[in-house]
Amino acid sequence: MNDGSDADIAGRNTPKKRLLRGVAVQTTAVAAAVHLLWAWPRLGSPPDARPYFFLAGSALAAAVAVATFRGGEYRRLYALGAGTLGAFLGGFLAWHGTDAAAALAAEPLAVVAAIVEVVGIGAFLALYRLAPPTSVVVERRREEEPAEGKEDGEGEEGPL
């Protein structure tokens, strides 16, 4: 159980966080790919702006996936990931309204997207819950950086 102690939240690479981060990265990448697959053949359809929004959203989702994989554990990043996937899912529901179930049945890519978006939102929210506050992460980064003016052993006394 997480009691908030440094021992519980200090490790970015605890098995639970690694698993959740892997799920979040993969679901976000799949959601981005699915939206690109849907949008690409529909580019140039003047009355429909969705392909262009999907391109922008896919680029954002890919950036969030890379940042989640490579970056520190920032709650704001996890909130952005959940929000991006939530925007895709909410946009689908808003666009189709009461016909959303029929649209899901007619479009296999929509089924895949909806499933990975729900799973990804859950993973990002769990990561958000497990991550320490941003101020703690920033302070840890400052402590890990070498002190200024002490590069390559400058200012340190060696053995006599």
Question: What is the band of 137 on the pLDDT scale with cuts at 50, 70, 90?
Answer: confident
Label residue 2 by pLDDT band (50, 70, 90): very low
Cα separation, 40 vs 21, whole angstroms: 28
All residues at 6 or more sequence positions from 69 whose CB lies less than 8 Å from its CB, including other chains: 21, 25
Residue 144: pLDDT band by 50, 70, 90 thresholds? confident
- pTM value? 0.78
Question: Whats the size of the chain, residue-wise?
Answer: 160
Res. 43 pLDDT band, cuts 50 70 90: confident
- Phi and psi angles of residue 159, each rounded to the nearest 5 degrees, phi first: -65, 145
Round to whole Å and give the CA distance between 98 and 115. 19
The string of pLDDT tens digits covering residues 85-128 is: 999 999 999 999 999 999 999 999 999 999 999 999 999 999 99
Q: Kindly report the CA angle at 125 between 123 and 128, in degrees rounded to 5? A: 110
Maximum CA extent, the chain: 81
